[in-house]
Amino acid sequence: MSEVLTHECPGCESEQEFYQAASMQVHIGEKVKWHCWECDYGFVRIDHTVDTSETPA
């Protein structure tokens, strides 16, 4: 998995690069924490099961 991800950032209100802040294996897959370089907004993805960036603000 790449350590950099381009994604829409609600904090910056634009598409930004996110860095992989942490990663670990959990019972439902690989949990990865992503943070925006510009504003430090963060979200979590666990394989294709969980994506907290899709949660409405």
pLDDT at 33 over 70: yes
Predicted structure pTM score: 0.84
Which has more pLDDT, 57 or 56? 56
d(CA 35, CA 17): 9
Other beta carbons less than 10 A from residue 42's beta carbon: 16
pLDDT at 27 over 60: yes
> Are residues 24 and 33 in contact, defined by beta-carbon separation less than 8 angstroms?
no
Position 5 scores a pLDDT of: 94
What mean pLDDT do residues 10-27 have? 96
Position 8 scores a pLDDT of: 95
What mean pLDDT do residues 2-19 have? 95
| Alpha-carbon dihedral sign for residues 49, 16, 3, 34 | negative
Q: How far is Cα of residue 12 from the mean position of the Cα atoms in its chain? A: 14
